[in-house]
Amino acid sequence: MKAVNKELGYEHWILEIDNVLSKAFLSINPKNAGSERRKFLASKKYNPVFKYSKINLEVVESIFCTIENSLPKEGPLAEVWKDKADQTRHRIALLKSVGEEEFTKISKELYGIPSEELVLKAQEIMNTPPPESEESTNSDEVIKVATEALEKLGLKEWRIVEGNISANAFVLANFKRIRVRKDDAMPKNLLKRMLIHEIGTHVFRAYNGSKQPSYLFETGFPNYLSTEEGLAVNMEERYGFMHGGMLKTYAGRAVAVHMAQTRSFREIFKHLRKHFSEREAWKITMRAKRGLKDTSKPGGNTKDYIYLQGYFEVKEFLEKEGDEGLRRLYRGKVGIKDLEAVEKVPGLKEPVLLPDNMILREIMEKV
């Protein structure tokens, strides 16, 4: 990152910091996951010992400290900016603590932990029968269809890139990129799910947010993430593309986060194996225990429960608010908790792209 040019303003530099932190968060994924997986599966007692890539955040911290005092103290978004600054501080601290004892404590401060009620709901969902086997496709086909969709929607700045990632796909909104996992055997239904989940939710909200009077709408309000993921899953459900397996995975993540606070990697994996394939159980458990070196110890990354929590929160919100509520959420990367502040912002614009977009629906129907 370059030295601060104060003429560019605090919003520009918060965007720059968000960009750096978005990339840096990949360092939470263990760099020796493959070899540790083989050791783990070959033993009945071994718990993985993870290694992580270290990153230097001194420049990011310096810039953040420089601009923090410039954040607005008055106006409709003053409290939001205060929350954003607090969240940014915690994100930096979390990244600096990867592999250290304080990682779990900072993760809890940043994301919280699942409630007992959510864990009970998650366990009920996990007990549902596994989904029927689906017709397969591959990542080349997914990338081809998604690229055509972006072009037809006029989103020409966005790009699809392939990589070795744990998720099927995810969006880096600040970089206008959708990353897709390289795979020769992906569920055919993933194509339709990706169109409404990744493009019809994540990309649409980022695009609409780019037209708003503050960078926050494009990069994300401090409370946006739970709503973002919950909305994406609700859109899958709304258009009939959400098979039980995806919701079951989100449920597994919530249970894994809950168990990780007191249990070892192997104990979590053993419990999840009753409900998931070996590959899926490993992936869910790793996500909950990443951030730790010695996974026989309690703790880990608590973020993953918010996907299921967001699903229920958005579902309840949309049942009350209907299409008008959907329009409010599509003004940008905002959370349900942010809406009162959002609607006081001068110059607020209505969303351009909504999930019922005719071009998107025609593409989904053809797949």
Please state the φ and ψ torsions of residue 294, each to the nearest 5 degrees. -90, 105
How many Å apart are CA 165 and CA 309, to the nearest integer? 24
Does residue 61 belong to any structural domain of this protein?
yes
Instruction: Name the domain count of the chain.
Output: 1
Does residue 208 belong to any structural domain of this protein?
yes
How many Å apart are CA 193 and CA 241, to the nearest integer? 6
The interaxial angle of helices 33-41 and 278-289, nearest 10 deg, is: 120
SS3 150: helix
- pLDDT tens by residue, the chain, 367 residues: 444 444 446 777 777 788 788 778 878 889 999 999 999 999 999 999 999 998 888 888 888 887 777 778 888 888 888 898 899 899 999 999 999 999 999 999 999 999 999 999 999 999 987 666 666 677 788 888 888 889 999 998 998 887 776 667 778 777 788 888 776 666 667 778 888 999 999 999 999 999 999 888 988 998 899 999 999 989 988 988 776 578 899 999 999 999 999 999 999 999 999 999 999 999 999 999 999 999 999 999 999 999 999 999 999 999 999 999 999 999 999 999 999 999 999 999 999 999 999 888 888 887 7
Structure confidence at residue 192 (pLDDT) = 80
Angle at 283 between CA 355 and CA 117, to 5 degrees: 70
Structure confidence at residue 184 (pLDDT) = 62
Structure confidence at residue 187 (pLDDT) = 67
Does residue 256 belong to any structural domain of this protein?
yes
User: DSSP letter string over 116-127?
Assistant: HHHHHHHHHHHT
Q: Are 135 and 192 in contact (CB under 8 A)?
A: no
Does residue 1 belong to any structural domain of this protein?
no
Angle at 88 between CA 194 and CA 201, to 5 degrees: 20
- The amino acid that residue 103 corresponds to is F
How many Å apart are CA 243 and CA 101, to the nearest integer? 38
Does residue 157 belong to any structural domain of this protein?
yes
Range of the structural domain that residue 60 is part of:
6-366
- The amino acid that residue 241 corresponds to is F
Does residue 73 belong to any structural domain of this protein?
yes
Does residue 360 belong to any structural domain of this protein?
yes
Contacts (Cβ under 8 Å, ≥6 apart) of 254? 114, 118, 119, 122, 304, 305, 307, 308, 309
Does residue 226 belong to any structural domain of this protein?
yes
What does pTM read for this prediction? Answer: 0.88
Structure confidence at residue 23 (pLDDT) = 77
How many Å apart are CA 150 and CA 223, to the nearest integer? 27
Structure confidence at residue 5 (pLDDT) = 45
